[in-house]
Structure 1
Amino acid sequence: MQVGVRREQRAGERRVAATPETVRQLTGLGLSLVVESGAGDAAGFPDSEYRAAGAELAAELPLASVDVLLHVRPLPPDTAAALRPGTVTIGFASPASELPTVAALAAGGVTAFALELVPRISRAQSMDALSSQSLVAGYRAVLEAALRYPRFFPLYMTAAGTIPPARVLVLGAGVAGLQAIGTAKRLGARVSANDIRAASADEVASMGGTFINLALDGPAEGAGGYARELGEDRAARQRALLAPHVAAADILITTASIPGRTAPLLVTADMVAGMRAGSVVVDLAAESGGNVEGVVAGCDVPVPVPGGTVTLVGLQDAASAAASDASRLYAKNVANLLALMTVDGKVVPDFDDEVVAGACLTHDGAVRHPGTAATMEARN
């Protein structure tokens, strides 16, 4: 069966869905790989390395003839419509916001697997692209903050005086948040963090951070280990309790997100206005609405405060900015999921397997993911 890897179509996207390493893995399973020329250039993987790994190079990927299409960003509707019935796709799908593409995939009889839907269970960890890309994003968030912050991160004690360490506050202690904590600590900052899941306290401490317990009542953990979306009353109380910690921070990094939903609002404009001049806010959830009021995805927004400004950074394409390592991780997630469905050189999804069934978005002309199907029905 022929597996195709196309150049990503979204402007600014530098990652690639397969690397020479995963080409070797998949050809070893009896699959044939066709890679569109230049697909890996921006991630540091030239055509020559794909060819040496056993892939065929094509000036333009023949969408109508591939059996499997691997991708990073959600497919545009016209690409989905160009695939023949029975084609398998694997990649991020953003089903909640890309309903026209979901409709095109279902109408075309495409079997689409969305990496956002991979169950968060131990045997699926090697296929968990949300986690692997969050690792990259959390690291990148701290570097972006350090570049914009007008002071040092670490403590310096010199003959000319003592420079105190920067105070970093991380909101959300998932994979991205924990990586941000660890990176900020390695740069010498004093780091604190909050997550509505009390169980995160030990993980924050293991990375060298100080956990801020807001003592919110009620369940905080939702399906798959993600944080539960708070009701408005609890969310307002959370913001009120966070306000003094935000005001004390030099760097604020927000990472809270709920897959397929708008990001929760954690920090209001009034809370930002209470920060000191020169402070930096990096919002990793900017592309899904943002955790911080006033943030704009892909832009730096200066907010006037007494004595200067606070910089709001709506981090966009965070993982793509570190395209080489992000692609290595992502491509391995994709290859591992495809390998799970490959038997004797043929891709044969077993829908009795909870990983395969859980990750499937569309199949046989229908939308299989219940949440997406309900959303589409409500909008029709």
Structure 2
Amino acid sequence: MKIGILKEHKDGEKRVAISPKIAGQLIAKGFKILIEEGAGEASSYKNSDYTEIGVTVEARGVVFKEATILIKINPFDEEDLKLIDSHHILMSQLFHISNTKLIEAIAAKGATAFSMDAMPRITRAQDMDVLSSQNNLAGYKAVIKGAYEMTKIFPLMMTAAGTITPSRVLIYGIGVAGLQAIATAKRLGAVVEATDIRMETKEQAESLGAKFITVDNSGEQESEGGYAKEASEDYVKRQKEAVNNSLFKADLVITTAMVPGRKSPVLITKEQVKQMKNGAVIIDLAAAQGGNCEISEMNKAVVKHGVKIFGTTIAPESVSTNASDLYAKNMYNFLIHLTNDECEFKWELEEEITDGTLIVKNGKIRKS
């Protein structure tokens, strides 16, 4: 079976879905690999890095024509759909809950589609979970970005001229990105606080050295399938009151809170920003879904009341080499799980991983 690796055309995207190393491992398993010319260049992978291990580099149209499995990171777009037909099996992050028109368009083509962001949060699927692997890097990069933009250093420092007190970091959302942000900020010497609607995250945050800001969440639905649920208005109000003291003292704030298929919850309002420290920095990793900060704008730096607010995405394009390799490892494990020794799909539709990720099968929508 032929796998086609497509070049990402989304603005700012630098990753590639399959790295040369993983392409070589797939070839060793019996797959044939084609890659769109230049697909890996932004991740520091040359065309020759692929051809040396047996991958065929082709023009975009040829990849669509000859490959059965088409792999991307971002959702397939209108230009992709023009080249898709019923023999294709698509694999990417489709975000199917909020991308209904895309799913309908794929179905209309008679194609089959797996959505990598729909991976079940179960132990067996951990090594296929692209959200976790990418969010881990995003949490790290958010701290590094914050350090660059701050006018202070992170650690306590004793100097002949006097003592420099450590910076204060506040993190909203203790998922994979939030935990990595805690760990990175602590390693750099910051005083770290964190908050989350899910009380089960308290122990995780504290194990990494963060102070957990407790908010009474009685009556709230904390999570479903490992993801936070949308909070009630009453909880949001009480969370703001509990967190305000830490927010107004923070030098760096990192927000990571997202609800699958919905707009990101607003956790920091314009009024709260007014009361933050002059020179504070907010890194809003949820900006692609509307943002956790009311002022955030996607891919823009906004300065309000002396606070720098960076709206960015959970996808770590700026560390594209590592991000591509981790995504590729997830895809390798997923492909091996779905296929037999002859590289043919098993189509075990009742199996939990297959059932959770298979959104469209031969033009029929299975999940919406």
- TM-score in terms of structure 2 length: 0.96
The residue number in structure 2 matching 1:368 is 366
Q: Is the 8 A contact 1:253 1:284 kept in 2?
A: yes
Deviation of 1:61 after TM superposition, in Å, equals: 4.4
Deviation of 1:220 after TM superposition, in Å, equals: 4.0
Q: Distance in 2 between matches of 1:133 and 1:44?
A: 18
Long gaps (5+) in structure 2:
none
Q: Is the 8 A contact 1:6 1:61 kept in 2?
A: no
| Structure 1 counterpart SS, 2:60 | coil
Letter of the 2:181 counterpart: A
The residue number in structure 2 matching 1:41 is 41
Q: 1:60 to 1:78 in 2, by over 3 A?
A: closer
Q: Distance in 1 between matches of 2:132 and 2:351?
A: 21
Deviation of 1:99 after TM superposition, in Å, equals: 2.7
Q: Distance in 2 between matches of 1:49 and 1:61?
A: 21
Q: Distance in 1 between matches of 2:217 and 2:348?
A: 42
* Moved beyond 3 Å, runs of 4+: none
Deviation of 1:212 after TM superposition, in Å, equals: 1.1
Q: Is the 8 A contact 2:169 2:185 kept in 1?
A: yes
Q: Distance in 2 between matches of 1:317 and 1:290?
A: 11
Deviation of 1:107 after TM superposition, in Å, equals: 0.8
Q: Is the 8 A contact 1:299 1:315 kept in 2?
A: yes
Deviation of 1:364 after TM superposition, in Å, equals: 2.2
The superposition leaves residues 299-330 of structure 1 with CA deviations (integer Å, 9 ceiling, x where unpaired) of 111012xxxx0111112364111100000101
The residue number in structure 1 matching 2:324 is 327
The residue number in structure 1 matching 2:164 is 163
The superposition leaves residues 28-87 of structure 1 with CA deviations (integer Å, 9 ceiling, x where unpaired) of 222110011211111111111111222111133421332000001111033124212031
Long gaps (5+) in structure 1:
373-380
Letter of the 2:354 counterpart: V
The residue number in structure 1 matching 2:181 is 180
Deviation of 1:91 after TM superposition, in Å, equals: 1.1
Deviation of 1:106 after TM superposition, in Å, equals: 0.8
| Structure 2 counterpart SS, 1:28 | helix
Q: Distance in 2 between matches of 1:317 and 1:176?
A: 8
**Alignment of structure 1 residues 104-253 onto 2, 5 Å:** 104-253=105-254
The residue number in structure 2 matching 1:29 is 29
Q: Is the 8 A contact 1:81 1:104 kept in 2?
A: no
**Alignment of structure 1 residues 11-26 onto 2, 5 Å:** 11-26=11-26
Aligned residues: 366
Deviation of 1:12 after TM superposition, in Å, equals: 1.2
- TM-score in terms of structure 1 length: 0.93
Q: Distance in 1 between matches of 2:96 and 2:52?
A: 36
The residue number in structure 2 matching 1:259 is 260
| Structure 1 counterpart SS, 2:153 | coil
Deviation of 1:243 after TM superposition, in Å, equals: 1.7
Letter of the 1:121 counterpart: I
| Structure 2 counterpart SS, 1:346 | coil
Q: 1:316 to 1:228 in 2, by over 3 A?
A: closer
The residue number in structure 1 matching 2:279 is 278
Q: Distance in 2 between matches of 1:363 and 1:318?
A: 27
Q: Distance in 2 between matches of 1:211 and 1:232?
A: 21
Which deviates more from structure 2 when the two are superposed, residues 26-35 or residues 177-186?
26-35
The superposition leaves residues 77-121 of structure 1 with CA deviations (integer Å, 9 ceiling, x where unpaired) of 331242120311111112234333211111111111111111000
- The one of 345, 354, 357 aligned to 2:355: 357
Q: Distance in 2 between matches of 1:255 and 1:215?
A: 20
Q: Distance in 1 between matches of 2:232 and 2:276?
A: 26
Q: Is the 8 A contact 1:8 1:72 kept in 2?
A: yes
Q: Is the 8 A contact 1:255 1:285 kept in 2?
A: yes
Letter of the 2:365 counterpart: V
| Structure 1 counterpart SS, 2:57 | strand
> Percent of pairs identical after alignment?
39
Question: What's the C-alpha RMSD, in Å, of the aligned pairs?
Answer: 1.4
